[in-house]
Chain A
Amino acid sequence: MKIGILALQGSYYNHKHYFEQIGVETLLVKKPEQLDEIDGLIIPGGESTAIRRLIDRYHFMKDLKSFCSSKPVFGTCAGMILLAKENIGYPTHIGVLNVRLKRNAFGRQVHSFEETVHLKDIGDVEGIYIRAPYVEVAGDEVDVLGKHKDAIVAVKQNNILATSFHPELTEDYKIGKYFINLVDKYIKGE
């Protein structure tokens, strides 16, 4: 199994380190053709507008759309924004995750916070929210995995996993292992 990390801008080194600690092989994806070499993709945290500019300039969009429509993908923070079908007041990017998302939903950086969040089928995980988005409305096929108060902060839709928070800034590997399990099932065709 090889996990690719979209390495355009943002926390991709942290994701690489995070998944290496779990013990899986990783690849920093810098060219669209590298998507063919991987079994699952991480879209990291970062600035979604900056990542989007680089996606366009390096002709990633077509291949990303096709990858994210069929294979396992995990987006954190900016990654969630890039996957969402609707970003309130802002453009849609890859648009495969059927949610209505609010950007910078908890406020500016001074309101960024840490708090443990309980996730369905996973347990309590360390949540680090940095100018984070949250899901305002989730479509019928979307499984809500966790909430911070009333805000939806973790979702799963078939092979797509997305969180408002940043597991890659922690040593809490539960959600990473959950994603690896998704990839494993995908490879085995389950």
Chain B
Amino acid sequence: MKNTGTIKVKTGMAVMQQRGVIMDVINAEQAKIAEDAGAVAVMALERVPADIRAAGGVARMADPTIIEEVMNAVSIPVMAKCRIGHIVEARTLEALGVDYIDESEVLTPADEMFHINKNEYTVPFVCGAKDLGEAARRIGEGASMLRTKGEPGTGNIVEAVRHMRIVMSQVRKVVNMSEDELMTYAKELGAPYHVLLEIKKQGKLPVINFAAGGVATPADAALMMQLGADGVFVGSGIFKSNNPEKFAKAIVEATYSYQDYDKIAELSKGLGEPMKGIELSTLQSKDRMSERGW
């Protein structure tokens, strides 16, 4: 029997992206630049997070015209974002045939209580997480891939670092914990017990975990890989820089050669001005996308 949308098929798709870079794009031309630079997938958007931040108002799923334009332009997988809890945006993206849906805090949440039950879909989902409780809840709902939330559109890596550090340290704690202690830890984290048990059994997260939210330079990408990321999402960083082609290639190479410092020095030379960035203490709580999600 031919079975689509199985756990192996959905989580396996993310495994194939490992040690790769996924780039935000807003049209076919940018998608081609990303593919030529060696991106493993593109995220089709109407606006990159930095512009969503600047525009304000309600941010929604992109116009399907843009998503289809990107899908027709490249042979690599195409992802798209839906609002947290927006079942119909998610079903619409699935009907369009996107390869992965990001249920994303970058868009304005549609539901302030519940995320989408991702187990019910054929298309796989990626979700953001700040800590293991959130990561495990998303896996429990059927997310096939995780990413740090970071603070999107800021060009500031500090939040992505914080989230990756917390998740990795909590995973290590689970792996080394006695099974007797696991239920109480599940209660503390607000994490489904069976997901923590699976983490303990496998000695790692059961799904691929990328870094996202603030990656602006090749050194940022390499930093996230060293902290244990399986790959990197770059949002505003590439197409908000002066030389997107060179920048995109440099990020791909730095993600691969993340421990080769001579190489990273080489890649960082003459890249031009990266995106300006936002210092986090100037962002009020209501403007922090990473606080969306439950």
Contact = CB atoms under 8 A, between A and B. Distances in A.
- Interface-centre pick from B20, B38, B41, B77 (highest chain A CB count, 10 A): B38
B4 A166 contact: no
B8 interface: yes
Contacts of B122: 110
A9 B20 contact: yes
A50 B20 contact: yes
Interface string B164-199: 000000000000000000000000000000000000
A53 B40 CA distance: 11
Interface in B102-123: 122-123
Contacts of B12: 11, 112, 128, 130, 166, 169
Interface string B35-54: 10111110000000000000
A8 interface: yes
A122 to B, nearest CB: 20
Interface residues of B, number: 37
Contact of B8 (A47, A111, A169): A169
A115 interface: yes
A53 B5 contact: no
Contacts of A101: none
Contacts of A154: none
B292 interface: no
B282 to A, nearest CB: 36
Given A90-B75, A108-B99, A10 B9 contact: no
Interface string A122-154: 000000111100000000000000000000000
Given A54-B38, A110-B97, A110-B123, A46 B18 contact: yes
A49 B18 contact: no
Contacts of A45: 15-16
A158 interface: no
A82 B129 CA distance: 35
Nearest to B79: A109
A52 B249 CA distance: 13
A49 B124 contact: no
7 contacts: A10-B16, A10-B20, A11-B15, A47-B17, A53-B252, A77-B16, A128-B12
Interface of A: 8-14, 45-47, 49-50, 52-54, 57, 77-78, 90, 103-104, 108-115, 128-131, 166, 169-170
